[in-house]
Structure 1
Amino acid sequence: MLLEVEGLCVNYGHIEAIRDISFTVEEGQVVTLIGANGAGKTTTLKTLSGLRTVRAGSVVFEGRDITKVPAYERVALRISQSPEGRGVFVGMTVRENLDMGAFVRKDRKTPAYTEDLDRVFDLFPRLKEREKQVAGTMSGGEQQMLAIGRALMARPRLLLLDEPSMGLAPKLIQQIFSIIREINQQGTTVLLVEQNAAQALKIADTAHILETGEIVRTGTGKELAGDDSVKAAYLGGDL
């Protein structure tokens, strides 16, 4: 098992943001967390990245308990996140942003590094075209591509994606999800938080529904997409 989350509890002050959640992610899967705003999805990803303190429970990655491992060490363990809101370095160029994604790597002058950069440019040809452009001058869709590309430069075993479709036009959303599927098919395990439940369930091997910090439903993407109660609550009544 690549990732095992057991009995996880996280607070913001006295408020429980995550309440005793448990789930696993197998290597090679796409697993998605869906739910309304405030359900605890982003907090879950931040906790897995080491950006939130765990009150109770554990996070085990590749058999190692990383519950108290700091965030920068988790990147070195090959857990990488593309954050909600993209978070690109707006004053840096595309290439500089990508290089920042690889800050823990010690092989920047090797063919392996060049291969990873080429992989990102193959997935996102627009980034190659904009390689010397300052990130803050790019469109929202281009910045989202850059955020994912930057996360990939850490060579993650587990890629955490937080709301990759947020604020994007429908045509671009389709493109982003197609690329996420391709990233997974190339061998990267993906844990996806996404409000566009219809798109997320289409590519998910396993899906968990969060409500007020708790997992209330689990199933395959196909099972949940076909469930009438899920359709009514999260899919606008239909896919």
Structure 2
Amino acid sequence: MLLEVEGLCVNYGHIEAIRNISFSVEEGTIATLIGANGAGKTTTMKTLSGLRKVREGKVVFAGKDITHLPPFERVKMGLSQSPEGRGIFPGMTVRENLDMGGYVRKDKAGLAADLERVFGLFPRLQERFDQVAGTMSGGEQQMLAIGRALMARPRLVLLDEPSMGLAPKLIQQIFSIITEINEQGTTVLLVEQNAAQALKRAHTAHVLETGEIKRSGTGAELAGDDAVKAAYLGGDL
């Protein structure tokens, strides 16, 4: 397994945000966490990135215990994140944002190749290369956030709500690109409120409710689960 989460507990003060969750992500797959607002999805992602402290449990990445490793060391190991709300640097250009994504790398040839990969996935970023990122549309900023994460050349990329606030046509495009990223060899852990799109593409899926994993299975299994349909899919895919 590329990522193994075992008995993870995370608190915000005295409030338990995540309670004893365990799941794994196999290399080369797309895994998804679905759930309502406040379920603990973003807290889970921040914890995997090293931005939240673990109270109990452990996180193992590529066979190494990274539970207490600083965020930048996790990036060096091959774990990067496109955060909820995009989190781009609005005063920097597209070029500068993408450069920041590769800040831990010294291989210039590899960086140039990955920049071309990002342009292949998101041609709009090449068109906007010298534009200040904060002046771009929401969809373009989301493309930039994902592109920046890919510039670290991750083995596992964490995508937190990539479709949030986007128009339906753009949502479809973003999810198609997520599938393409995976087909190019990058493992994906996806957190999404758009459960229908997430389950359609996920090899494995987990339902997170009030900080606990309540259901797990393949994407197709959960998409066909009556309780999941009723709670997250409006009764149907």
Shorter-chain-normalised TM-score: which range?
A: over 0.9
Residues 1:35 and 2:40 are matched in the alignment: no
Q: Find the counterpart in structure 1 of residue 136 from structure 2.
A: 138
Unaligned 5+ runs, structure 2: none
Give per-residue Cα distances to partners, 1:124-177, cap 9 Å, x unaligned: 000000000000000000000000000000000000000000000000000000
Q: What residue is the counterpart of 1:93 in the other structure?
A: 93
Counterpart among 203, 210, 231 of residue 229 in structure 2? 231
Identity of aligned residues (%): 81
Give the residue type in structure 2 aligned to 1:117: L
Q: State the 1:98 CA deviation.
A: 0.1
* Distance across 2 between alignment mates of 1:18 and 1:64: 22
Measured in 1, the distance between the counterparts of 2:87 and 2:24 equals: 27
2:17 aligns with 17
For normalisation by structure 2, the TM-score amounts to 0.99
The normalised TM-score by structure 1 is 0.98
2:163 maps to: 165
Q: CA deviation at 1:111?
A: 2.1
Give matches, 1:167-186, under 5 Å: 167-186=165-184
Letter in 1 for 2:168: P
**Take 1:94 and 1:26, find their aligned partners in 2: how far apart are those partners?**
32
What secondary structure is seen at the aligned counterpart in 2 of 1:60?
strand
Deviations 1:162-207 (A, max 9, x none): 0000000000000000000000000000000000000000000000
Which of 201, 204, 224 is matched with 2:202 structurally?
204
Instruction: Name 1:120's counterpart in structure 2.
Output: 118
Matches within 5 A, 1:68-79: 68-79=68-79
CA–CA distance in structure 1, aligned partners of residues 155 and 46 of structure 2 = 17
**d(CA) in 2 for partners of 1:113, 1:137:** 25
Structure 2 distance, partners of 1:113, 1:85, is 25
- Deviation of the 1:226 alpha carbon: 1.1
In 1, Cα distance between equivalents of 2:236 and 2:61: 36
Q: What displacement does 1:229 show?
A: 1.4
SS of residue paired to 2:59: strand
Structure 1 stretches of at least 4 aligned residues deviating more than 3 Å after TM superposition: none
Looking at structure 2, the residues matched to 72 and 14 of structure 1 have their Cα atoms a distance apart, in angstroms, of 28
Could you tell me which of 132, 147, 155 is aligned with 1:149?
147
Q: Deviations over 1:70-108 (max 9, x none)?
A: 11111111100000000100000001000000010112x
State the distance in 2 between where 1:74 and 1:168 align.
Answer: 29
- How far, CA to CA, are the matches of 2:106 and 2:146 in structure 1? 21
Question: Please, what is the CA RMSD of the aligned residues?
Answer: 0.5
Question: What number of residue pairs does the alignment pair up?
Answer: 237
